[in-house]
């Protein structure tokens, strides 16, 4: 383990221990933990993946995964929320070309402690990142943006919204990402978030009505069509970190289940329930599922760091999507086994297990969702193009 990692993972663990003291309260109140974001800013965690020369902590993709895995054991909602800030920055850092404006941007995010937020998911398109119902229309030296975004995690503290759009009248069809500062006229957050799990993420709707931005606000432009390096980079940073986050929830549930099994002694038993074969088998299943997930996403992260050029086209996309698909589903199963160990006690609000049980179920719904991931993975394995019909 590198000296850098020896510092970063304990930092994430220290933050997690603090966040855990408030996680249940924020979950119950459906409130956003602003204090957690303030603590991450103070510790430099919001600049985790930005190079040290720009004021960041310099984490690579594997460091990022290990830190998010650790942080999620304290508060899953805080972790998945800050993930939506960090993964995009990590991809930008990876794809930066060394232009002065890149360094200025990263410096502003790190030293200025700015928070980037998403304008990605939409009611009309769900998790399909290739095409957006939100439109951008060129008007002289400006663009006019209109649309509505869902799942805008971190919404109370976002400084800069990264709004993904389809460019109107573009030939060939193109999508673009615009950087829109908070407070821009026509940008409105609508408090819609009241969910079963991940309640403290404040993933409200973002309404974009005749938002006018200068042409220089366009951060990225890409064709709509075949998978390119940008898409693979985004999914590598997103998919692997999401895999690690939900595995972190499963690890927390497993720790609780083992501790619980070590102290619960029914009147009818001579020893605690950890000596019961059924409990041992459930713990074994959870341990194995978590080990499988960690081996996969950390292995893919290392491969990606060492040989990024080998991740090309739809097969490359499939390689970075698979860890998220496997790990989020394994996490659900692992937490189910942990709930089996804890039994009816796991339904009680005084224990964190019921929160783990609800939070972990959000995992498979992040892009690519289970069905779309299976389509990609199956077609890639069979040598069938993703666009081939029938489509999911």
Q: Which residues contact 264 (CB under 8 A, 6 or more apart)?
A: 272, 273, 345
Mean pLDDT across 213-222 = 91
Residue 320 CB: number of other CB atoms within 10 A?
Answer: 26
User: Averaged over 273-290, what is the pLDDT?
Assistant: 98
Shared fold status for 3-114 and 229-382: no
Query: Cα–Cα distance between 124 and 352 in angstroms, integer?
Result: 35
pLDDT of residue 129: 58
Q: What is the mean pLDDT of residues 355-366?
A: 97
Weakest-pLDDT range from 199-213, 217-231, 306-320: 217-231
Residue 348 neighbours by CB under 8 Å, 6+ apart: 354
**How much is the pLDDT for 82?**
98
CA 316 from chain centre, in angstroms, equals: 20
Find out whether 155 and 117 touch, Cβ atoms under 8 Å: yes
- Binned at pLDDT 50, 70 and 90, residue 222 comes out as confident
- Does 45 have pLDDT greater than 60? yes
Q: Domain 229-382 class?
A: mainly alpha
Residues 167, 174: Cα–Cα separation, whole Å: 6
Q: Whole-number mean pLDDT of the chain?
A: 95
Amino acid 50: pLDDT: 98
Q: Report CA dihedral (359, 360, 364, 366) to the nearest 10 degrees.
A: 40
pLDDT of residue 224: 81
- What residue spans of the chain are helical by DSSP H? 3-29, 34-43, 61-71, 76-95, 100-111, 229-263, 277-306, 313-342, 353-359, 370-382
How many CA atoms lie within 13 Å of 329's alpha carbon, on the beta-carbon side?
Answer: 12
Question: Domain spanning 118-223 has what CATH number?
Answer: 2.40.110.10
Kindly state the average pLDDT of the residues 87-108: 92
- 68-95 tens-digit pLDDT: 999 999 999 999 999 999 999 999 999 9
- Residue range 170-207, pLDDT digits in tens: 888 899 999 999 999 999 999 999 999 999 999 999 99
**Would you state the pLDDT for residue 56?**
98
CA–CA gap between residue 127 and residue 290 (Å, rounded): 25
| Domain definitions of the chain by residue range | 3-114, 118-223, 229-382
The strand pairing partners of 147, in sequence order, are 208
Cβ–Cβ < 8 Å for 72, 246: yes
Proportion of the chain above pLDDT 90, given as a percent:
88
Question: What number is the average pLDDT over the span 358-378?
Answer: 96
pLDDT interval class at 255 (50, 70, 90)? very high
Encoded tokens for 135: 């439109």
pLDDT (tens digit, 9 = 90+) per residue, 123-143? 887 555 567 999 999 999 999
Domain 3-114: which topology? Answer: Butyryl-Coa Dehydrogenase, subunit A; domain 1 (1.10.540)
């Amino acid at each position: 383990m590198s000296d850098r990692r020896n510092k970063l993972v304990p930092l994430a663990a220290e933050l997690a221990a603090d966040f855990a003291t408030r996680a249940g309260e924020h979950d119950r109140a459906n409130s956003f933990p602003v204090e957690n974001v303030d603590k991450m800013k103070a510790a430099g965690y919001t600049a985790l993946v930005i190079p040290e020369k720009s004021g960041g902590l310099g984490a690579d993709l594997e460091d990022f995964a290990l830190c998010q895995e650790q942080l999620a054991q304290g508060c899953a909602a805080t972790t998945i929320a800050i993930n939506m800030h960090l993964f995009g920055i990590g991809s930008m850092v990876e794809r930066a070309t060394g232009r002065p404006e890149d360094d200025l941007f990263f410096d502003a995010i790190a030293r200025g402690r700015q928070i980037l937020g998403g304008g990605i998911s939409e009611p009309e398109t769900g998790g399909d990142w290739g095409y957006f119902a939100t439109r951008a229309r060129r008007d002289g030296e400006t663009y006019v943006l209109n649309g509505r975004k869902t799942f805008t995690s971190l919404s109370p503290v976002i400084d800069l919204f990264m709004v993904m759009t389809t460019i109107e009248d573009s030939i060939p069809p193109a999508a673009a990402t615009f950087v829109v500062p908070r407070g821009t006229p026509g940008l409105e957050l609508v408090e819609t978030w009241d969910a079963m799990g991940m309640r403290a993420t404040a993933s409200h709707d973002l309404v974009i009505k005749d938002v006018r931005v200068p042409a220089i606000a366009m951060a990225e432009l890409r064709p709509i069509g075949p998978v390119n390096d940008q898409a693979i980079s985004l999914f590598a940073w997103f998919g692997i970190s999401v895999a690690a986050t939900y595995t972190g929830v499963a690890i927390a549930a497993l720790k609780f289940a083992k501790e619980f099994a070590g102290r619960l002694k029914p009147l009818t038993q001579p020893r605690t329930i950890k000596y019961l074969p059924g409990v041992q088998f459930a713990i074994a299943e959870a341990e194995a599922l978590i080990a499988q997930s960690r081996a996969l996403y950390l292995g893919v992260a290392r491969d990606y760091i060492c040989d990024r050029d080998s991740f090309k086209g739809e097969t490359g996309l499939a390689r970075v999507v698979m860890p998220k698909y496997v790990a989020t589903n394994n996490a659900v199963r692992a937490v189910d086994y942990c709930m089996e160990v804890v039994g009816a006690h796991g339904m009680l609000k005084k224990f964190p297990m019921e929160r783990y049980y609800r939070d972990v179920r959000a995992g498979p719904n992040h892009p690519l969702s289970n069905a779309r991931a299976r389509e990609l993975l199956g077609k890639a394995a069979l040598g069938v193009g993703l666009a081939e019909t029938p489509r999911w």
